[in-house]
Amino acid sequence: MSLRDEIFEQPTVLSAALQTQWENVQRVAAAIRAYQPRYIFLAARGTSDHAGLYGKYLWGAYNHIPVALAAPSLFTLYQRPPNLTGALVVGISQSGASPDIVSVLAKGQRCGAATLAITNSPHSPLAQMADSVLDVSAGPELAIAATKSYTAQLLVIAMLSVALENSTARLAALRQVPELVVQALTLDKQVSRAAERYRYMQHCVVLGRGFNYATAFEWALKLKELTYVVTEPYSSADFRHGPIAIVDPGFPIFAIAHSGALQEDMLELLQQLAEQKRAELLVISDLPAALALAHFPLELPTGIPEWLSPLVNIVPAQLFSYHLTKVKGLDTEQPRGLRKVTLTH
C-alpha cells in the first residue's frame, strides 16, 4: 500500500475505530475518573508528539486536566527523572517500540502513577508496560511518513476526551469525522495543481494556533521528511514575536485558519502578511475572509467544530506534501535516511 493509498484510507480507518474502540475508551475513561489524576504527563516523539500537542489543548480545554509534555532524555540519558506521583502517565507511539517512551511509563509505574499507552501496536513494549491500552486501530502503515496512524491517534485522543466528559453532543459530532475527511479528500486535484507552483521552494513557514497548533507542526514535519524543504511551524502569536522579520515579498507561508476562538487573530495576521509583507499565502480554511487573502485557497466545509478541526485540516496538508514530493521527483515511500520505527533513547 502506497502513501497515497494510506491517505485515502483514513475515512475507513476512522470509521472502524469509532465502531470498535468506543467501549474500551469508555472503560479507560472510567478508570481515569476513579483515579482522579492531578495532571497528565505525556511522552511521545515525532508525529505522535504532535498528536500529544493536540491532547494538551483538548484535555485541558474540555476535561480541565493540566498536561505536561515529557522530556524523555531525563529518564534515559540523564537518569534524573521527575517525580510522577499522582500523574496519569501517557505514552503515544505508533510502533510502541521506542525505549525512551517506554522508560517514561516505567518510571510512572514505580511512582504508583496510572499509565496509559495509545498505540497502533497493542502488543508492543509500550502497551505491555501500561495499565491501560488504547489501540488506534490504523492497521499496517507501510509508508515511512505517518498519515492514517496520526489521524487515528487524534481520533482516539478525542474519543477519550468525550468519554471523560460523558458528552452525547460531542460524541455525535465526533461520529461525523469520517465523512468530513471524505469531503477534505475531494480537494486532491486542486492540491495537486497548487503543488506545481512550489516545485522549487526551498523554505517556508507553517502557521496554526490553538487546536491547530498541532496541525502546523505535523504539516511542517511532512514537508521536511518528504520534500526536504526547510519548514518552520509557528503559532500566529509566536510568529509575531520576531520570526515575521524573515518574510520578504513572495515568501511562502502556509496557514491553517479555522473558524472559532482564534479566527480574528489569524485573519489579522494573514491580512498583514498579504497586504504589508506581500507574502505568498496558501491557506486551509472554512473562513471566506481567510480564503480571499490566499494565492491558493483550500476550502473546507463549514460546521466543523474547532476542537475536531485538526482531524480534517491535516488531510489537505498531507495531500499537498505528497503531491509536492511527486512534483520534485522524490520518493514518496522511502524518504532518505528514515526508517518506519525510530528507536530513540
CATH number at 23 reads: 3.40.50.10490
User: Does one domain contain both 164 and 271?
Assistant: no
Backbone angles phi, psi at 201, to 5 degrees: -65, 135
Boundary (domain end) residue, out of 145, 175, 205: 175
Q: What is the pLDDT of residue 250?
A: 95
pTM of the prediction? 0.96
| Residue 344 placed within a domain | no
Domain edge (last residue) among 175, 195, 217 = 175
> Are 111 and 190 within one domain?
no
Q: Are residues 217 and 168 in the same domain?
A: no
Question: Is 337 a domain residue?
Answer: no
Residues 307 and 229 both lie in one domain: yes
**Residues 323, 82: Cα–Cα separation, whole Å:** 43
Residue 197 maps to a domain: yes
Structural domain count of the chain: 2
For residue 36, being part of any structural domain is answered with yes
| Residue 93 lies in domain | 3-175
Q: Does some domain include residue 181?
A: no
The tens place of each residue's pLDDT in the chain, 345 residues long, gives: 799 999 999 999 999 999 999 999 999 999 999 999 999 999 999 999 999 999 999 999 999 999 999 999 999 899 999 999 999 999 999 998 999 999 999 999 999 999 999 999 999 999 999 999 999 999 998 888 999 999 999 999 999 999 999 999 999 999 999 999 999 999 999 999 999 999 999 999 999 999 999 999 999 999 999 999 999 999 999 999 999 999 999 999 999 999 999 999 999 999 999 999 999 999 999 999 999 999 999 999 999 999 999 999 999 999 999 999 999 999 998 887 666 556 665
Residue finishing a domain among 141, 175, 209: 175
Instruction: Please tell me whether residues 123 and 246 are part of one structural domain.
Output: no
Same domain, 210 and 66: no
In a domain, 25, yes or no: yes
Note whether residue 11 is domain-resident: yes
Residues 42 and 171 reside in one and the same domain: yes
164 and 308 part of one domain: no
Do both 9 and 109 map to the same domain?
Answer: yes
* CA pair distance 216, 310, nearest whole angstrom: 9
Kindly state whether residues 305 and 157 are assigned to the same domain: no
Residue 15 lies in a domain: yes
Do both 87 and 135 map to the same domain?
A: yes
Do both 164 and 192 map to the same domain?
A: no
